[in-house]
Amino acid sequence: MALLIVPLKQIILDPSNSIDLSILPEQEAIRLIKESYGFLSSSLDVSIRDGLAVIELKEERSARANNVQKTFQKGIREAQQGDYRKAIKTFTKVLEIIPNHVDARRNLAMAHLELGNVAKAKEHLEECLKLDPANAWSFVLLGNIYAKHERNQPVAEFYYEAGLTTSPNDNILLNNYAALQMEQGNSVKAKELFERALAADSSYPNTYYGLAYLHQINREPAAAIAILDRLFDRPKSSDMRSEPVYRNARALYLELSEELARQDGTRLMGLIQEKKSELERAAGQRISIEEDNSLEYVSAVAQMAWKHGRDEHRIRYRMKSEAVTPHLVAHELEHIVLEQQARAGGRNLFFVTTAETRTAAVHSVASHVSKLQQQGYAEKNITEVILQLIHGLCSQIFNCPLDMVVEHNLFAKYPELQRSQFVSLHQMYQEALKTFTSPEIKKLTPPPYFVPATRLTVRTPSLSTICIKAAPTIPLPTVLPKYFRTGKISSTSGKNRWKSSNLAMSTPWWTNLPVFSSCVPGIFGKRMTSRT
Q: How many residues does the chain have?
A: 532
Which DSSP state fits 529? B
How far the first Cα of the chain sits from its last, in Å, is: 84
Measure CA 254 to chain center.
10
Q: Is the dihedral of CA 19, 21, 25, 26 positive or negative?
A: positive
Average pLDDT (475-481) is 37
Q: What is the residue-wise DSSP string for 422-438?
A: HHHHHHHHHHHHHHHT-
With H, G, I as helix, E, B as strand and everything else as coil, classify residue 7.
strand
Give yes or no for residue 528 having a pLDDT over 50: no
**204 DSSP assignment:** -
Nearest to 113 by CA among 90, 138, 77: 138
**Which residues are within 8 A (CB) of 514 and not within 5 positions of it... i.e. 6 or more apart?**
none
Strands 517-521 and 348-352: antiparallel
Apex CA 239: angle with CA 78 and CA 164, to 5°?
Answer: 95
pLDDT band for 289, please (50, 70, 90 cuts).
Answer: very high
DSSP, res 294: T
Give the Å distances, CA to CA, from 134 to 162, 259, 285, 391, 418. Answer: 9, 44, 75, 69, 47
C-alpha–C-alpha distance, residues 277 and 448, integer Å: 44
CA-wise closest residue to 411 among 456, 472, 459, 461? 472
* Confidence tier at 486 by pLDDT (50, 70, 90): very low
Mean pLDDT of the 16-37 span: 71
pLDDT digits (tens, 9 = 90+) for 314-327: 999 999 889 999 99
User: For 443, what's the count of Cα atoms within 13 Å in the CB-facing half-sphere?
Assistant: 8
pLDDT the model gives residue 24: 77
Rounded distance between C-alpha atoms, residue 422 and residue 255, angstroms: 11
Q: Tell which residue, 515, 492, 210, has the closest CA to residue 371.
A: 492
Long-range contact set of residues 524-529: C-beta below 8 Å, sequence gap at least 24:
524/349, 525/347, 526/349, 527/349, 527/350, 528/349, 528/351, 529/351, 529/352, 529/354, 529/357
Band (pLDDT 50/70/90 cuts) for residue 373 is confident
Counting residues of the chain whose pLDDT is more than 90, the rounded percentage is 36
pLDDT category at 204 given cuts 50, 70, 90 is: very high
pLDDT in tens, 157-174: 988 998 898 889 999 999
Task: Assign 371 a pLDDT band (cuts: 50, 70, 90).
Answer: confident
Nearest to 93 by CA among 74, 111, 110, 77: 74
- What's the confidence (pLDDT) of residue 148? 87
Tell me how many degrees the CA angle 409-414-416 measures, rounded to the nearest 5. 145
pLDDT at 501: 28
Average pLDDT over residues 22-34: 73
So what's the pLDDT on residue 1? 58
Q: Strand 44-49: give its sheet, edge to edge.
A: 2-7, 52-57, 44-49
| Residue 289 near residue 329 (C-beta atoms within 8 A) | yes
Tell me, rounded to whole angstroms, the distance of Cα 50 from its chain centroid: 55
Task: Give the start-end residues of each E strand in 318-407.
Answer: 348-352
Measured distance CA(1)–CA(138) in Å, rounded: 26
Angle at 216 between CA 215 and CA 219, to 5 degrees: 90
Backbone angles phi, psi at 415, to 5 degrees: -55, -30
pTM score of the predicted model: 0.70
Model pLDDT, residue 365:
85
- Per residue in 406-461, pLDDT tens? 999 999 999 999 999 999 999 988 888 887 788 888 888 888 777 776 776 654 43
Weakest-pLDDT range from 342-346, 424-428, 437-441, 462-466: 462-466
Range 334-349 average pLDDT: 89
